[in-house]
Amino acid sequence: MRGLLINHHSKYYDDLSILFNDNCDIVSYTHFNIDHAKQYDYFILSGGEINISKEEDIAFEKLFLKTCNKPIFGVCLGMQILSIIAGEKLNELANGRRIGTEPFTFSEEVGELQYNHGWFINSIPNGYEGIIGDDNILRCIYNDRVLAFQGHPELSGEFGLKLKEYFFKNMFLPKNT
């Protein structure tokens, strides 16, 4: 299986590639090509500090992701992109950036998830299940093909590895049709 990591100018894209055992090709969002992307088995959406709110921002990538039926692992901005595609609104944190680790539980995995973000989504998008924190910030979305976090599994050590393993174990199961 081969993955494509779409880098949104993340300063952590090397860490994300290492998390996935360097078993993915990397493309900058500025060079994203739908025809090229179709050859991959799964996609990793990095974090980053690019504008994604307007319809024309990363339009080809959004179009592809909206119709993609392959597994997607989203990190920070990646989760926000998927949420915007599903109709949610991006909000700016009132007190600047949130940086640090916070306790997080997903499925049966418990650990500390690293955060570094200045924007957030505050509701679970249609088509997903999700986890919202006590501060009304969406922490995670998931369904039968997507697992995405507001935080950074690639910076979260052993816990990040467990989240990646969950992705591979659960997102590649045969789907009932």
pLDDT tens, position by position, 63-85: 999 999 999 999 999 999 999 99
User: For position 53, which CATH number holds?
Assistant: 3.40.50.880
Dump the DSSP string for 72-96. EEEETHHHHHHHHHTT---EE-TTS
Distance CA 171, CA 165 (A): 10
Nearest to 19 by CA among 50, 47, 44: 44
Q: Is residue 176 part of a domain?
A: no
137 backbone φψ class: left, alpha, beta (φ>0; ψ -120 to 50): beta
Contact 109, 163 (CB under 8 A): yes
177, part of any domain: no
What's the domain count of the chain? 1
Range of the domain at 114: 3-171
Using 50, 70 and 90 to split pLDDT, how confident is the model at 137?
A: very high
Whole-model pTM above 0.85? yes
CA distance 124 to 132: 8
